[in-house]
Structure 1
Amino acid sequence: MTFQSPSPFPAKGGQDQVAFHRTELAVILSLYGRMVAAGEWRDYGISSLRDVAVFSVFRRTAEHPLYRIEKRPKLRNKQGQYAVIGMDGQILKRGHDLKTVLRVLERKLIRAID
């Protein structure tokens, strides 16, 4: 008798869904916590689709996302699997290392004090 543990994301049509790994989520949620403490962000949403995983950041719950952090494993060998996309759909940063890609958002924390 063999025992197979259930998958957290059941495959549909033989395809697995893309999801953020625990270490990736730790990096993203660390940044999210700092931005919430600064009063910049208020809510987030996570989507796991067939070819992309998306972490969306909102200023208010009922808005369009301010930023989308996407993971596309198919681009791993080309442009990099991580991308930060702005509200208007413009790619702000793309790369292979998640921490490096998220630095574009950390600059928002640095402000001049009046």
Structure 2
Amino acid sequence: MTIVTPAAFPGRPDPNERIAFDRRELGTILGLYGRMVAAGEWRDYGMSFLRDVAVFSVFRRTAEYPIYRIEKRPRLRMRQGQYAVIGMDGQILKRGHDLPTVLRVLDRKLIRAVD
């Protein structure tokens, strides 16, 4: 008896495969996170790696809903852009192809917090 794995079918996605942030993306996100923690705006984070999306959630306090979600959806890479910043109410604050550009919407909030 031969056992056929999903990897045996080229072009077909592995159902166990998860979307994740690469090292460069995570470095960019954690750099922003560190600046916001130092400013006293953010306190905790969580990461989720699912089949179609990777999510970095930011919390003001540990046991509450995330105030921002940074999402990576590779399926939208050729359309609106694979990166998005989503607010607590589910509104998309910024979407695009370049992660540092998308994260600038949150950097502006840091400038306001310091003033």
What TM-score, normalized to structure 1? Answer: 0.86
- Alignment-derived partner of residue 17 in structure 1: 18
Measure how far apart 1:74 and its partner are.
0.2
| Alpha-carbon shift at residue 109 of structure 1 (Å) | 1.1
Superposed, which structure 2 residues align to 1:25-64 within 5 Å?
25-64=26-65
Q: TM-score, normalised by structure 2?
A: 0.85
Query: What number of residue pairs does the alignment pair up?
Result: 101
Distance in 1 (alpha carbons) for counterparts of 2:65 and 2:78: 30
How well do the aligned residues superpose, as a CA RMSD in angstroms?
A: 1.2
Write out per-residue CA displacement over residues 77-96 of structure 1, whole angstroms, 9 at most, x where no aligned residue: 00000000000000000000
Q: Which amino acid aligns with 1:14?
A: D
Residues 11-44 of structure 1: CA distance to partner in whole angstroms, max 9, x if unpaired?
xx93211000000000000000000000000000
Code of the aligned partner of 2:74: P
Structure having the higher helix fraction is 2
Alpha-carbon distance between aligned partners in 2 of 1:105 and 1:65, rounded to the nearest angstrom = 14
Give the Cα–Cα distance (whole angstroms) in 1 for the partners of residues 103 and 24 of structure 2. Answer: 14
Residue 104 of structure 1 pairs with residue 98 of structure 2: no
What is the distance in 2 between the residues matched to 1:18 and 1:36? 26
For 1:79, the aligned partner's letter is Q
- Percent identity reads 78
Which structure has the greater CA radius of gyration? 2
